[in-house]
Amino acid sequence: MKQSPKQPAEKRQAQLIKAAARIFAKKGYANATTEEIARAAGLTKGALYFHFKSKEDIFFAVFKNISERSTETILQHLETETNPEIMLEKTVRSGFEFIRKDKYATAEFWEQVHNIPRLRNYFARTHCEMRDKIVNFLNLHSQLKKKECESLFTLLHAIFDGIILRYKLGHCKVDLNKLADQVVLIAKLYLRKDRFEMDKIC
């Protein structure tokens, strides 16, 4: 396959990552091939290996891209808000919108992430960094103690994990708007330490 020598390297790399995300989502990591990825990107296999040493390398690049976009979506409101209730509502709704729009991170995709040590370690590190930033924000701007802030983060993270799993597997219809409303309410009640109302919801 002929490729243009004028095309910037950054653009070729972005094309490969986007094409790889589609192929991995469609065929799974094990069944995808570098040849298919290169062809889907409109590039040669040689061009792929110029940018990535292996299929695992390009899978890591795809995951890193998704992880960076989701982290930016989640943390963006920490820079613009000081009210913890408003920050959490915007963060939760942004997170749900990301789930709705993301087409590539399937259940099999996440399973493979945890099967590859390099990706698993990267995910653990970035997750801890995100947790620390949110916990520190809540500890600074809310009436919660640090352990309560950590518990709230753990609760919200567990809820999101469950929703992502249900949504991606598609075993039952998921109303993301309704779920977002419920999660926002739970977060606000937790911030207000209104455990009685939380018990009634749950």
Q: Are residues 107 and 48 in the same domain?
A: no
pLDDT digits (tens, 9 = 90+) for 19-76: 999 999 889 899 999 999 999 999 999 999 999 999 999 999 999 999 999 899 889 9
Q: What is the pLDDT of residue 194?
A: 66
Q: What is the pLDDT of residue 198?
A: 52
Q: What is the pLDDT of residue 170?
A: 66
What values do phi and psi take at 170, rounded to 5? 70, 25
Q: Are residues 88 and 166 in the same domain?
A: yes
Confidence of residue 197 (pLDDT cuts 50, 70, 90): low
Q: What is the pLDDT of residue 4?
A: 46
The CATH number covering residue 79 comes to: 1.10.357.10
* Neighbour-count burial of 52, counting CB atoms closer than 10 A to its CB (0-12 exposed, 13-18 middle, 19+ buried): buried
Q: Are residues 125 and 35 in the same domain?
A: no
Last residue of a domain, one of 35, 52, 69: 52
Q: Which residue has the higher pLDDT, 130 or 173?
A: 130
Residues 86-115, mean pLDDT to the nearest whole number: 88
Q: Are residues 196 and 111 in the same domain?
A: yes
Contact between residue 61 and residue 113 where contact means Cβ atoms under 8 Å apart: no
d(CA 180, CA 108): 24
Q: Are residues 43 and 71 in the same domain?
A: no
Q: What is the pLDDT of residue 171?
A: 60
* Neighbour-count burial of 178, counting CB atoms closer than 10 A to its CB (0-12 exposed, 13-18 middle, 19+ buried): exposed
Q: Are residues 32 and 127 in the same domain?
A: no
The total number of structural domains in the chain stands at: 2
DSSP category for residue 192: T
Q: What is the largest CA-CA distance in the chain?
A: 66
The CATH number covering residue 16 comes to: 1.10.10.60
C-alpha pair distances (Å), 109 with each of 8, 54, 59, 60, 126 = 29, 17, 9, 11, 18
Q: Provide DSSP, 46-89.
A: HHHHHH-SSHHHHHHHHHHHHHHHHHHHHHGGGTT---HHHHHH
* Neighbour-count burial of 21, counting CB atoms closer than 10 A to its CB (0-12 exposed, 13-18 middle, 19+ buried): buried
Residues ≥6 apart with Cβ < 8 Å to 64: 122
Q: What is the mean pLDDT of the chain?
A: 88
Structural domain for 81, as ranges: 56-201
Q: What is the pLDDT of residue 163?
A: 83
pLDDT digits (tens, 9 = 90+) for 151-180: 999 999 999 888 887 777 666 677 888 989
In the chain, % of residues over pLDDT 70:
90
